[in-house]
Amino acid sequence: MDPQNHQSLPVKRLLDKVAIITGGARGIGAGTARFFAQQGAHVVVADIMDELGTELAESIGGRYVHCDVAREADVEAAVKFALAWKGRLDVIFNNAGVSGPDGSIMRVDMEHTRFMVSVNVYGVIHGIKHAARAMVEGGHGGSIICCASSSALLGGLAGHAYTTSKGAIVSLVRTAACELGQHRIRVNCISPHGVPSEMLMLYYRKVLGRADVTDDEIFSAVGKKGSLIKGRGGSVADVANAAVFLASEESGFITGHNLVIDGGYTSASTGLSFIYQ
Active-site residue list: 162
- Angle of helix 122-138 versus helix 110-120 axis, rounded to 10: 20
Q: What is the C-alpha separation between 207 and 107, in angstroms, rounded? A: 17
> Is residue 148 within 8 Å of 112, Cβ to Cβ?
no
Q: Which residues pair with 47 in a beta bridge?
A: 66
> Residue 216 CA to chain centroid, in angstroms?
22
User: In angstroms, what CA-CA distances link 240 with 9, 139, 200, 260?
Assistant: 19, 27, 16, 13
Q: State which H helix or E strand residue 86 sits in.
A: helix 72-86
Q: What is the C-alpha separation between 49 and 117, in angstroms, rounded? A: 20
Q: In 181-255, which ranges are E strands?
A: 185-192
> Is residue 22 within 8 Å of 69, Cβ to Cβ?
yes
Using DSSP's 3-state secondary structure scheme, residue 144 falls into strand
Q: State which H helix or E strand residue 43 sits in.
A: strand 42-47
Buried b or exposed e, range 208-239, using 16+ CB within 10 angstroms: eeeeebebebbbebbbeebbeeeeebbbbebb
| Residue (of 105, 101, 89, 20) closest to 57 by Cα position | 20
